[in-house]
């Protein structure tokens, strides 16, 4: 029995390796700061060498996705690497990224005219090993295009984030994970006025070889914090150095 | 290296040119004439007309009397120069230094030092030029010698051989007429009057005697022909120090062929640049097509580089713009702008990634080459509160910020470029709105923060200040709204939505 199980495990590991997942080496488990969500991925490791797809239809959703990605970028760009943000109609406000511990000057924005150029830049950038991550805002992504991006990622190890605007055309893509981030009402201490930390419903719609799920997450000023039940939380208005209009 | 020069003399430049353009004139005597003091003076003669005795400098009316059926065509000032310029640019394939013969204005002078072996020696070289020009329709006489003066003399007046071996230009000149020295008409007349019909009759005379009788210019021309004085040619195209050429046996038509050609040129160019510690900043690939057209593509890099693979990728993006038509026979790769390459110290372990990472710089070069440099943006913090101006564009990829990003005020992750007017309902002045309608959807405000007043910079523009509110609707959407101006002031205040929070 044991021999059979070992064989299964080995085969599973091989398949994961071919699909771009790096095996977890003992004692070197890199955490991305997503807490419980990371357990949904195979091997309980956030796949960095992969394409992550975000469904953003409403501007509220895309703003929430931007915030969530920025939180991930903070970890990915920790070593000083740069990031490319390609888009045809960018609304991201660079100054806001510093709230998520990302240095906005290390993000190179490429604002082009056509979707074709966005995809070309994304593929080229994903092949560029000096980058930490690439974010692309597109309307739609076909299977072939996504496969090209995935192949580029597998050779370089750059993390790719695709913000997809069009949900109706549910084309299948080879993205490793598909997310939907929607804003949730923030929580403040009882009776306290103002807004709390940004809180999102993080839906992991699809994970290759993993378990999809839905989580409630908060950006607690410095890091992601999963919201499980009512507990004491720091409020925006209590943060140090914060001015109240 | 022994310097060698070729002189190409177009015997009937204008007549040949006209025959190429209008082959129907082949059997018709024609001349070119230009008005001079109210008369039409002949400036160029075709071979048939010259058989009748028509010469340059005759009056057109006289010529018509000698030669029946003579066609007189209008000449234009400066036409030979334009023709020679075109021919000279075509001749760049034979030597990088091609100059127009300014004296006669009917020939070209080529500095061919170190070029002839590519065509199998000087004889083959001259033969190639003659046959190529002849097939185009030009009758030419060529000569090759150690000095431009001697080459010119032999091409115009030589009778024995056009190949003057190294160091024998004086012997070749001895039997020629003094006209071969490119002298002015007055000096020539004086020489003829004195009975000097050949160069050998005065070449041995003391310089002081010659100077007194014929002037300094005469001595200079003589010295230039013999080789004791250097003659500087003014090249039509100033040769670029970093330039490589690739002549093809068969015209290249395919993408594959062009790629191979670019690769070969880059290999040669990059090896040279590497040896001299230089890197390419701008590169120009010139393709000479067999139909005489020239196609150019250019690339630029944001940092000096001599990496073949990187430069090849930049050219690869431009191959689509090269139209080979019937085929390309010559590729020339120039690097008009080169810079010293900064060779970073090799790092023992992996280098630290960042904006100045080599691969990132290369990516930016490729994007700039394909889409354009204007699409690449990077932002640095600015010392301004006004949201639209709080981030400024960085000029270069390495520019450092002088100030830090402000984090004490919340800012939306998505900012609308232009604030969109909304309808709101606020119960109390200066309070956040109760609800607002944006794009036809009513958002009930559940939580709000603010106001944060941001004053307009009056030294930059005029207008109202803004009172910003952070609001959250019942669904959890977070928005950045502002009211322009004071509540209850005379001019009607307006509400706008300016961004979306994460």
- pLDDT tens digits, one per residue of B181-240: 898 889 999 999 988 899 888 888 898 988 998 888 999 999 999 888 888 888 887 777
Residue A85 is predicted with a pLDDT of 94
Question: What is residue A127's three-state secondary structure?
Answer: coil
Q: What residue ranges do the domains of chain B occupy?
A: 1-10+81-239, 243-369, 414-500
Question: What is residue B104's three-state secondary structure?
Answer: coil
Tell me which residue of A114, A172, A99, A117 sits closest to B369, measured CA to CA.
Answer: A117
Under CATH, to which class is B243-369 assigned?
Answer: alpha beta
Q: What is the sign, positive or negative, of the torsion defined by CA atoms of B247, B251, B254, B257?
A: negative
The answer to whether B480 and B472 have CB atoms below 8 angstroms apart is: no
Chain A residues with CB under 8 Å of B366 CB are: 124
Using CB atoms, pick whichever of B362, B380, B408 lies closest to residue A243: B408
Peptide bond before residue B171 is cis, with ω within 30 degrees of 0 = no
Mean pLDDT over each residue of chain A, to the nearest integer: 83
Proportion of chain B above pLDDT 70, given as a percent:
97
Residue B141 is predicted with a pLDDT of 92
Say yes or no: A191 contacts chain B, CB-CB below 8 A: no
Residue B491 is predicted with a pLDDT of 61
Q: Determine the average pLDDT of the residues in A125-134.
A: 90
Residue B231 is predicted with a pLDDT of 87
Tell if the CB–CB gap between A124 and B448 is shorter than 8 Å: no
Distances (CA, A) of B420 to B139, B163, B415, B494: 75, 83, 11, 10
- pLDDT tens digits, one per residue of B365-375: 888 888 888 88
Using CB atoms, pick whichever of B391, B476, B500 lies closest to residue A59: B500
Tell if the CB–CB gap between A194 and B447 is shorter than 8 Å: yes
Tell if the CB–CB gap between A60 and B477 is shorter than 8 Å: yes
Q: What are phi and psi of B340, to 5 degrees?
A: -70, 135
Which pLDDT band holds residue B302 (cuts at 50, 70, 90)?
Answer: confident
Distances (CA, A) of B447 to A162, A192, B68, B491: 31, 10, 105, 29
Tell if the CB–CB gap between A186 and B472 is shorter than 8 Å: yes
Residue B450 is predicted with a pLDDT of 79
**Which residue, among A48, A56, A57, A59, would best test binding to B if mutated, counting the most B CBs under 10 Å from its CB?**
A59
Which pLDDT band holds residue A27 (cuts at 50, 70, 90)?
Answer: very low
Mean pLDDT over each residue of chain B, to the nearest integer: 87
Tell if the CB–CB gap between B359 and A96 is shorter than 8 Å: no
Q: What residue ranges do the domains of chain A occupy?
A: 49-238
Residue A86 has pLDDT above 90, yes or no: yes
Contacting A residues, span 59-78, partner chain B, CB-CB under 8 Å: 59-60, 62-64, 66-68, 70
The answer to whether A77 and A106 have CB atoms below 8 angstroms apart is: yes
Using CB atoms, pick whichever of A82, A188, A199 lies closest to residue B355: A82
| CATH assignment, B1-10+81-239 | 3.30.70.270
Pairing of strands A82-87, A131-138: parallel
Tell if the CB–CB gap between A244 and B371 is shorter than 8 Å: no
- pLDDT tens digits, one per residue of B245-301: 898 888 988 999 999 999 999 999 999 988 888 888 889 999 999 888 899 998 888
Q: What is the sign, positive or negative, of the torsion defined by CA atoms of B251, B256, B260, B265?
A: positive
The answer to whether B17 and B127 have CB atoms below 8 angstroms apart is: no
Q: Which of the residue ranges A192-196, B13-17, B200-204, B383-387 would you say has the lowest mean pLDDT?
A: A192-196
Residue A9 is predicted with a pLDDT of 85
Q: Determine the average pLDDT of the residues in A82-102.
A: 91
Tell if the CB–CB gap between A93 and B411 is shorter than 8 Å: yes
Residue A122 is predicted with a pLDDT of 94
Pairing of strands A224-226, A213-219: antiparallel
Chain A residues with CB under 8 Å of B500 CB are: 59-60, 62-63, 91
**Token duo for residue B435:** 């609800």
Q: Determine the average pLDDT of the residues in B144-162.
A: 91
Q: Determine the average pLDDT of the residues in B442-448.
A: 91
Residue A48 has pLDDT above 90, yes or no: no
- Side-chain-side CA neighbours of B404 within 13 Å: the count stands at 7
- pLDDT tens digits, one per residue of B454-479: 998 888 888 888 999 999 998 889 99
Q: Give the number of other CB atoms < 10 A from CB of residue B204.
A: 7
The answer to whether B142 and B8 have CB atoms below 8 angstroms apart is: yes
Q: Shortest Cα distance from B416 to chain A (angstroms)?
A: 6
- pLDDT tens digits, one per residue of B102-124: 888 889 999 999 888 888 889 99
In the numeric block, the tokens 């024998």 are attached to: B168
Yes or no: domain A49-238 corresponds to CATH 3.40.470.10: no
Residue B342 has pLDDT above 80, yes or no: no
Q: What are phi and psi of B178, to 5 degrees?
A: -60, -20
Say yes or no: A82 contacts chain B, CB-CB below 8 A: yes
Q: Determine the average pLDDT of the residues in B319-335.
A: 89
Which pLDDT band holds residue A233 (cuts at 50, 70, 90)?
Answer: low
Q: How far is A110 from A39, CA to CA, in rounded Å?
A: 34
Residue B144 is predicted with a pLDDT of 93
Burial label for B67, CB within 10 Å (0-12, 13-18, 19+), is buried
Q: How far is B344 from B363, CA to CA, in rounded Å?
A: 19
Which pLDDT band holds residue A22 (cuts at 50, 70, 90)?
Answer: low
Tell if the CB–CB gap between A111 and B375 is shorter than 8 Å: yes
Residue A175 is predicted with a pLDDT of 85
In the numeric block, the tokens 């050949």 are attached to: B198
**pTM for the full model?**
0.65
Contacts of B183 (CB under 8 A, 6+ apart): B191, B217, B218, B221
Tell if the CB–CB gap between B381 and A95 is shorter than 8 Å: yes
């Amino acid at each position: 029995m044991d021999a059979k199980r070992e064989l299964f495990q080995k085969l599973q590991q091989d398949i994961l390796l071919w699909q771009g997942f790096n095996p977890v080496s003992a004692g070197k488990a890199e955490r991305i700061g997503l807490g419980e969500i990371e357990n949904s991925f195979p091997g309980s490791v956030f796949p960095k060498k992969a394409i992550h797809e975000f469904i953003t239809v409403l501007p509220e959703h895309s703003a929430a996705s931007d915030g969530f990605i920025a939180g991930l970028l903070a970890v990915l760009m920790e070593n000083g690497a740069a990031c490319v943000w390609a888009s045809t109609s960018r609304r991201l406000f660079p100054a806001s990224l510093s709230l998520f511990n990302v240095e906005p000057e290390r993000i190179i924005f490429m604002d082009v005219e056509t979707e074709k150029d966005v995809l070309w830049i994304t593929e080229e950038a994903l092949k560029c090993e000096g980058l930490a991550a690439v974010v692309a805002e597109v309307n739609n992504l076909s299977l072939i295009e996504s496969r090209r991006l995935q192949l580029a990622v597998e050779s370089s190890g750059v993390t790719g984030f695709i913000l997809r605007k069009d949900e109706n055309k549910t084309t299948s893509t080879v993205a490793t994970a598909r997310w939907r981030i929607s804003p949730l009402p923030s929580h403040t201490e009882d009776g306290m006025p103002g807004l709390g930390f940004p809180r999102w419903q993080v839906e992991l719609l699809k994970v290759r070889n993993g378990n999809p799920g839905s989580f409630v997450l908060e950006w607690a000023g410095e890091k992601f914090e999963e919201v499980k039940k009512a507990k004491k939380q720091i409020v925006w208005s209590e943060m140090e150095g914060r001015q109240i209009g | 290296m022994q310097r060698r020069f070729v002189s190409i003399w177009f015997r009937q430049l204008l007549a040949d040119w006209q025959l190429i353009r209008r082959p129907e004139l082949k059997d018709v005597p024609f001349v070119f004439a230009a008005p001079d003091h109210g008369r039409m003076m002949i400036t160029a003669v075709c071979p048939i007309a010259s058989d009748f005795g028509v010469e340059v400098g005759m009056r057109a009316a006289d010529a018509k009397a000698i030669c029946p059926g003579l066609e007189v065509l209008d000449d234009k000032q400066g036409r030979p120069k334009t023709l020679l310029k075109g021919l000279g640019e075509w001749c760049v394939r034979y030597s990088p230094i091609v100059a127009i013969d300014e004296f006669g204005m009917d020939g070209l002078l080529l500095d061919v030092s170190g070029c002839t072996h590519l065509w199998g020696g000087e004889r083959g070289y001259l033969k190639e030029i003659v046959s190529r020009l002849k097939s185009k329709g030009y009758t030419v006489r060529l000569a090759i010698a150690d000095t431009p003066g001697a080459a010119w003399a032999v091409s115009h007046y030589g009778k024995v051989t056009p190949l003057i071996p190294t160091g024998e230009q004086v012997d070749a000149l001895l039997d020629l007429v003094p006209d071969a020295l490119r002298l002015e008409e007055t000096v020539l007349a004086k020489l003829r009057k004195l009975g000097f019909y050949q160069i050998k009759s005065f070449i041995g005379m003391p310089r002081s005697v010659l100077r007194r009788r014929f002037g300094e210019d005469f001595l200079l021309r003589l010295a230039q022909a013999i080789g004791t004085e250097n003659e500087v040619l003014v090249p039509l195209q100033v040769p670029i120090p970093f330039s490589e050429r690739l002549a093809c046996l068969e015209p290249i038509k395919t993408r594959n062929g062009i790629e191979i050609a670019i690769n070969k040129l880059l290999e040669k160019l990059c090896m040279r640049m590497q040896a001299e510690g230089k890197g390419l900043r701008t590169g120009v690939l010139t393709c000479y097509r067999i139909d005489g057209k020239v196609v150019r593509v250019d690339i630029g890099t944001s940092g000096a580089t001599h990496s073949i693979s990187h430069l090849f990728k930049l050219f690869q993006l431009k191959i689509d713009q090269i139209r080979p038509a019937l085929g390309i026979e010559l590729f020339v790769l120039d690097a008009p702008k080169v810079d010293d390459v900064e060779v970073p110290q090799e790092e023992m372990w992996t280098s630290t990634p960042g904006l100045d990472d080599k691969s990132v710089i290369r990516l930016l070069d490729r994007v700039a080459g394909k889409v354009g440099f204007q699409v690449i943006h990077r932002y640095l913090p600015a010392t301004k509160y006004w949201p639209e101006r709080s981030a400024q564009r960085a000029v270069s990829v390495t520019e450092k910020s002088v100030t830090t990003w402000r984090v004490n005020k919340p800012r939306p992750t998505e900012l609308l470029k232009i604030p969109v007017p909304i309808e709101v309902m606020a119960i109390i002045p200066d309070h956040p709105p109760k609800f607002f309608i944006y794009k036809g959807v009513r958002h009930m405000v559940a939580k709000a923060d603010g106001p944060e007043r941001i004053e307009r910079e009056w030294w930059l523009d005029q207008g109202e200040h803004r009172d910003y509110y952070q609001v959250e609707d019942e669904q959890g959407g977070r928005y950045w709204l502002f009211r322009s101006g004071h509540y209850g002031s005379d001019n009607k205040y307006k509400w706008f939505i300016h961004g979306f929070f994460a």
